[in-house]
Structure 1
């Protein structure tokens, strides 16, 4: 059935916006590469959902549309332009629309943000543009409209293929809905679809969960994320577990499920390129790779986080930025000041190195010597970790590798990274204080905004 006249004109308008983005994109290309401080990824936070899931305590609100979305769209465009100017970023490597449920947004909102970015900086035509989508908010025609707006990769919040588990999680879709959306996504975005699967739910068993994973591999595209449920204070599941209505998740069983799941994925040809993320046929998330490599990123929208060096201040350190959480308050600030940044925290050299270690070791590549020298040209990885007895023990246990390539976890080490980081970060702090005493304080390490916040 064809689109109505009004809707058809709507989709044509979206397509024209996307085409203008690519025109600006090509004519704005610079023949020489930009320095690292002038390149960044962009995260766009859509704060609304249809309902709050029973496990979620993140910055999201019940969906609003019409004039409210028009106001939010205008503020997203304004804040993107302002932060690009304040950061001096001239090239955006990737864009990620997260939330919340950004597939509830109008494709016009996505197109407007991308056009604004392309007008203010160089946004390559083939740069990765990801949209998080929930099955019930992303029918085929809507997904096609997002593609026309400039989206070229989807991250689908599937979570489970068991209807009982989906009800427990408070999801609005069924397993059938999820598989139908996945099939449509693969048709429209071949090779660029990611799905999320959760493990460690209350009363969940390893055998049935592994059968879900095997079934998903029959339908899955080339990227899959495994996330362990975390019961967060203030959520419905946390309350039910506290009251004894539901059994608390078994951490040992969850660890077993994770180990067996990653083995299944390895045998299916997936590369575990990060603790929770698996890809085959080279379908890595380049946007999230920026986070794990400690690259710069701008965060726009209510509650978004960012990391960048402001322009125009000599020897200014990288800043951690947090935007105002509540959408109405954020919009008021954007209208007054051009952006809704609520908190700015300059990162010390030690804090930046801590993030480099904690995030870099989440990947199978780890921290190469060349990458480390970008942040610390004086002390090598050998200087920091080579003489440590505790680190040597981890090397002898086969959990870590330190060689000509750099520092990284082994296959076994990736599964127990949290326990390794305590030793490594304490060692880094000790060496740094011996070299140049600095005030203490540990930085908050940012997480992947591709649903890794569920871990």
Structure 2
């Protein structure tokens, strides 16, 4: 049963007032080095593979190449009504789950990691899944209030909730809005009922469009949808017709994702057994290229490889990932990246929370958090992420941003004299100028192949860098 109202705390009340103010787009300018060390995003999650947007069912869209993905993140609510045929996320079909216990553990771990990180301001919060829209709005409100009590959480911070059409009727969405959510990411995936059935989704195309319409009424200008491409037997023209239809119904943010066949899933097994044809990579590439052209002509800015926005509706939370900002992950299987200043640390760590929910809850109740592993990141590793992540965006890696991570070795030092990079510049795939290093519109579509040249170039330049200046020398 959906509660008629959510008990309003101080932050939630302020956030509801802030939702009535117009959004201001301030992305694209990196924060100062001082503020970067005290700011972070918060990803509230339990388990599964990480990605920037939507309802799951693909490899990591945040990091490229996939083998370099540092997050493999999991999500707030790991429970689902059923497992989709393409999904290998860490999900669970609930068997008498006690949400109050999960809620208390999320609040406890959030407090602990915020204190450990030394973060003073949370810029955005993303509730992912699983199916977080199956959780109660009270759980969302409790986490947000706890964060606001520990650090500064601006009332107009972007607070995103992932939702599946069948678990998010209008009244339930309104209750999440009352709990502090101000942005929705809907796992629509397809507007073809046969494809949805193939994917094992519990909703129909009409369900998806109805939920989308209700969401836009409640969160105007702040609704994102996913559309998948590269499914078995999928053809270019019918898929483009789906995209054109979606343009009549969608809001100002849209994500295009290619299906990744994951070992251990039903869909993978069917392809291996020959009962389904393998997805055609050439057709998928054509869909992607044609799709991004359609979206560009419709006024959408491709601000990242898979993400498109118009009217300034870029995702603040996503932008933190691509700018290699700090982020905290709470919940079973969550991954985070921050400097643990509470222990006097100075090195950024990749932190991994315990995967299985029951074990995670036991550890949180014993120790205040369920961190299973901490891996310090070397300077070169961090620079590789800055490069690979930044080039996913249309802004690329600016000189100012690069210098925040490496003040001695400039982008010109690394790439300016490389013949291989010079070829990519001549082909019009890359741009290296006074702004920094970035992909052209054509280059953005083949980023993985460009990184095969750029990452070794960075590694070689790092090995031959001049020694750092010694204080007093």
Q: Same fold (TM over 0.5)?
A: yes
Partner of 1:252: 282
Confirm whether residue 398 of structure 1 aligns to residue 392 of structure 2: no
In the TM superposition, 1:107-186 aligns within 5 A as 107-186=137-216
Query: Would you say the 8 A contact 2:258–2:284 is kept in 1?
Result: yes
Which piece of structure 1 moves more, 40-49 or 133-142? 40-49
Residue number in structure 2 paired with 1:62: 93
Q: 2:319 aligned with 1:289, yes or no?
A: yes
Q: Distance in 2 between matches of 1:333 and 1:436?
A: 46
Aligned length: 422
Structure 2 counterparts to residues 53-452 of structure 1, below 5 A: 53-63=84-94, 68-313=98-343, 316-435=346-465
Change (3 A) 1:313 1:78: closer
Residue of structure 1 equivalent to 2:80: 49
2:347–2:376 Cα contact (<8 Å) kept = yes
Distance in structure 1 (CA, Å) of the matches to 2:116 and 2:125:
18
TM-score, scaled to structure 1 = 0.90
Secondary structure in 1 matching 2:261:
coil
- Which whole-Å deviations, capped at 9, do the CAs of 1:23-75 have from their partners, x for residues lacking one? 9xxxxxxxx9962111000000121111111111111111356x611100000
SS of 1:419's equivalent in the other structure is helix
Runs of 4+ displaced beyond 3 Å: 14-17, 20-23, 312-315
Unpaired segments ≥5 residues, structure 2: 18-30, 46-76, 468-473
For 1:390, what is the secondary structure of its paired residue?
helix
**1:171-217 residue CA offsets vs partner (Å, 9 max, x unmatched):** 00000000000000000000000000000000000000000000000
When residues 399 and 143 of structure 1 are mapped into structure 2, their CA distance, relative to the original with a 3 A threshold, is same
SS class of match (1:63): coil
Distance 1:276 1:50, change over 3 A: same
Partner of 1:39: 39
Q: 1:19 Cα shift? A: 1.9
**Richer in helix (by share):** 1
Q: How far apart, CA to CA, are the structure 2 residues paired with 1:16 and 1:371?
A: 36
Which whole-Å CA distance do the structure 2 matches of 1:383 and 1:315 have between them? 30
Cα distance in 2, alignment partners of residues 314 and 255 from structure 1: 47
Shift of 1:7: 3.8
Q: Distance in 1 between matches of 2:442 and 2:299?
A: 18
Q: 2: distance between equivalents of 1:12 and 1:364?
A: 39
